[in-house]
Structure 1
Amino acid sequence: MGTHNYNLTEQFEFTGKAKTLSIIAIVIGIAAIGFGFSKETLHERTFANLLLMAYYFACVCMSGAFFLAVQFVAQAGWSASILRVPEAMAKVLPIAVVILLVVIGLGLYTHNLYHHWHAEGLTDPNSENYDKLIDGKSSFLNVPFFMGRQFVFLTVYSVFAYFLAKWSNNEDVEGGLNSYRKSFKYSCVFLVIYGFTTPIFAFDTVMSLEAHWFSTMFGWYNFAAMWVSSLAAIAIILILLRKAGYMSWVNNSHLHNLGQFIFGFSIFWTYVWFAQFMLIYYANIPEETVYFYNRWENYEFWWYLNLVLNFLSPVLLLMDRDNKRQENVLLGVSIVVLCGHWVDYYQMIMPGAVEKGENGFGFIEIGTALGFVGLFTFTVLRALSKKPLIAKNHPFLQESLNHHL
């Protein structure tokens, strides 16, 4: 089959409305964060929102690198012509990592985050604040070991993301299979490391906000959320680029594949969510049920909205084959899924990070979210504009250009 008449040197120009709107969103985010820190009573809430969005930002970029690795290990042909998008997300990962580490470090230093295990006297038997359970976990939940794990995990992810992007660039310049073989080999290593460490990363960053509670399924629950969010982000960028006249080689079959992934992993996310909930609900052990009781009492609306956005919407709207192939439907569902997993992280993080008296929803939440959306858009599209939009020497490029389902 032929290559058609596609321009294999086509390059995205990051100018105009996309650039302007992303900068405006960043400014709104800075204003929201500044407003939150200007009032002492809102510090915890502001830190919680910063953690939410920094974690979300990092997770989506991490999963961009994960997407690349999965495609290399699977030797997938369908995705060869769209790899520049997750590649751009992977390139941005170091920026997301620095922001997340700064937020966590400042949160620990000021005691506005992780106060359930990092507060005065919790591990001192002579203190009135002594907590026997937290003391028992102190060999794992202590600042040096905690920050060390964060730094090592996130640095390793960033290094693999860097090299996967670098070898893709070398492949464009040098041709041949040497870079592809390196990508395949190191992707195998990366997937093993990623699979074993992302649950621990989720335990540390999110679950330890409520250090008395734990769930062995929490890591996989977070993995499902970050993976499907990344798939939705890739779909949105591809569709918007196609609407802007770029990447004309992306056809409805490519969208169909992405739609299948979003549909399937939304069901997987729901399965893990339900399994975690049902086991805790059925066992009815007070130290376990307190997690859900708190959310029903104080975050009931968000609890149910989470299921509507992340399960019912993608399942009902993407069940039909034709809907997966219609760019407007897939675009709408992908936006819903990204908003849905913001809600997912919101009801995971807020109850443990914010005292009941500081609960609220308003400019801080909306502005911080908009700021990070703007930052993600600006950095990813800027990275995307640095190279041609197609990996012209990828060994499976012809299969992808002629991909039809």
Structure 2
Amino acid sequence: MGTHNHHTHNFTQQYEFSGKAKTWSLVAILIGVVALAYGFLLDPSEHHTERTFANLLLMGYYFTCVCAAGAFFVALQLVTQSGWSAGLIRIPQAFANVLPVASIILIIICAAGLFSHNLYHHWYHEGIAEVGHANYDPIIAKKVAYLNAPFFLIRLVIFLAIYSAFALMLTKYSNNEDTVGGLGNYKKSFKTSAIFLVIFGFTTPIWSFDTIMSLEAHWFSTMFGWYNFAAMWVSGLCAITITIILLKKAGYLSWVNHNHLHDLGKFIFAFSIFWTYVWFAQFLLIWYANMPEETVYFFKRWEPEYKPWFWLNIVINFLAPVLILMTRDSKRRTNTLLVVCIVLLCGHWLDYYLMIMPGTVESHRDFGITEIGTAIGFAGLFSFLMLSQLAKKPLVAKNHPFLEESLHHSV
């Protein structure tokens, strides 16, 4: 076990958001704007607006999920009284601070897509619940008390407002801890985290049912919420790990070592397996309950245009982390872990793509500028906002009660 003390590290060190990081973030945002303009105005394919809205939903949801995963990470560490993460907690806190902005963007995308009939048109349609109307759908009619525009948007706003409020509270208490000291703010953080985790656990499945599963409103899976949670958690862990590794390469976070990265690698490895379990269980439940009407979801994703992506999804998100991160050494090699995390972020983009596209944009199977450009744009937006938040305070929570344990962490 290595020995560390407060004199060997600069705990007043702050990240300076400038130079290449800021430039590339802004360039990526510009690429995203151009891609969206192309999608809305210049894309020659039929239903190009529908396709662009689908990409906006994909990345808006992904963006919000990664930020929510940051808040979940912070709360989880506090409730479990984990000491190992105290030295790196500022990174997921920066994610959590961006959650309000991500939430507003997602709400705007969902509302615009809903009222323009480019999203959620399977259940939001004139006369869909009126017997005798040309658009009448008996399945949707039974769900209309839940699936209607006002209630849909109210739920979305309430859930994301609650998540954002708790995220900001947790970072506020951590900041107060730096200036005041003592255990008062830590105890507040603990109680707040416990309440947040209960609310988050019960509502995130509903959030994913509403935002993503309702795109194909005839289909239903009780596993879908946990499938989405697993994807969100793995993506968030990968984004946190990438940020830490790049900061270390830039000369920051000297107190974070291979032991911390090893633990993050174990989390990524474990929850990639959990994601695969839920991914398969969603299919298995349909098979052993003998519900052929539910196979429509998988049938769509086995059409020739999607089938290669379907298999690539499982290869990237399951086989890659299992085969590469199985050994102890691989989790402690910075560059190996960095590559796996980047691959998994791309893999879960593909995962969300397969959740959204087949049921949203059914009349084309294009893939190109809109998809790639929108993804790059949101990645730039996330980087810009998150690094701006990270630069506002020192990179370590100097009065965290478990900081000393984090400095001496060894596995």
Offset, 1:365: 0.1
Q: 1:372 aligns with which of 378, 390, 399?
A: 378
Q: Does 1:329 align with 2:336?
A: yes
Q: Does 1:18 align with 2:24?
A: no
Partner Cα separation in structure 2 for residue 153 and residue 292 of structure 1:
29
**Match for residue 40 of structure 2?**
37
Partner Cα separation in structure 1 for residue 262 and residue 55 of structure 2:
34
Tell me whether 120-129 or 75-84 shows the greater mean CA deviation: 120-129
Q: Does 1:207 align with 2:210?
A: no
**Match for residue 86 of structure 2?**
80
Partner Cα separation in structure 2 for residue 21 and residue 259 of structure 1:
27
**Match for residue 150 of structure 1?**
156
Partner Cα separation in structure 2 for residue 247 and residue 2 of structure 1:
13
Partner Cα separation in structure 2 for residue 150 and residue 221 of structure 1:
19
**Match for residue 294 of structure 1?**
300
**What per-residue deviation string (whole Å, max 9, x for no partner) do you get for residues 258-279 of structure 1?**
0000000000000011111122
Q: Does 1:189 align with 2:195?
A: yes
Q: 2:65 aligns with which of 59, 83, 88?
A: 59
Q: Does 1:350 align with 2:322?
A: no
Partner Cα separation in structure 2 for residue 41 and residue 310 of structure 1:
30
Q: Does 1:310 align with 2:313?
A: no
Over the aligned positions, Cα root-mean-square deviation in angstroms equals: 1.0
Partner Cα separation in structure 1 for residue 287 and residue 377 of structure 2:
37
Offset, 1:281: 3.4
Offset, 1:359: 2.1
Structure 1 residues 79-158: aligned runs within 5 Å? 79-158=85-164
**What per-residue deviation string (whole Å, max 9, x for no partner) do you get for residues 49-72 of structure 1?**
000000000000001000000000
Offset, 1:85: 0.3
AA partner of residue 14 (structure 1): F
Offset, 1:402: 1.1
User: Percent sequence identity over matched residues?
Assistant: 64
Partner Cα separation in structure 2 for residue 193 and residue 96 of structure 1:
19
Tell me whether 362-371 or 281-290 shows the greater mean CA deviation: 281-290
Partner Cα separation in structure 2 for residue 201 and residue 7 of structure 1:
41
SS of structure 2 residue aligned to 1:358: coil
Q: 1:175 aligns with which of 174, 181, 198?
A: 181
**Match for residue 360 of structure 1?**
366
Partner Cα separation in structure 2 for residue 286 and residue 276 of structure 1:
13
Offset, 1:119: 1.1
Q: Does 1:281 align with 2:284?
A: no
**Match for residue 204 of structure 2?**
198
Partner Cα separation in structure 2 for residue 267 and residue 184 of structure 1:
29
AA partner of residue 151 (structure 2): F
Q: Is the 8 A contact 1:122 1:129 kept in 2?
A: yes
Offset, 1:285: 2.6
Offset, 1:255: 0.2
SS of structure 2 residue aligned to 1:111: coil
AA partner of residue 23 (structure 1): L
Tell me whether 36-45 or 59-68 shows the greater mean CA deviation: 36-45
AA partner of residue 195 (structure 1): G
Partner Cα separation in structure 2 for residue 363 and residue 283 of structure 1:
41
Partner Cα separation in structure 2 for residue 2 and residue 337 of structure 1:
33
Partner Cα separation in structure 2 for residue 328 and residue 28 of structure 1:
27
Q: Where do 5+ consecutive residues of structure 2 fail to align? A: none
Q: Where do 5+ consecutive residues of structure 1 fail to align? A: none
Q: Is the 8 A contact 1:44 1:358 kept in 2?
A: no
**What per-residue deviation string (whole Å, max 9, x for no partner) do you get for residues 219-247 of structure 1?**
00000000010000000000000000000
Q: Is the 8 A contact 1:48 1:350 kept in 2?
A: yes
Offset, 1:283: 4.1
AA partner of residue 128 (structure 2): L
Partner Cα separation in structure 2 for residue 55 and residue 41 of structure 1:
21
Partner Cα separation in structure 2 for residue 206 and residue 44 of structure 1:
15
Q: TM-score, normalised to structure 1's length?
A: 0.98
Partner Cα separation in structure 2 for residue 17 and residue 301 of structure 1:
36
Offset, 1:282: 4.0
Structure 1 residues 384-399: aligned runs within 5 Å? 384-399=390-405
Q: Is the 8 A contact 2:286 2:292 kept in 1?
A: no
AA partner of residue 349 (structure 2): W
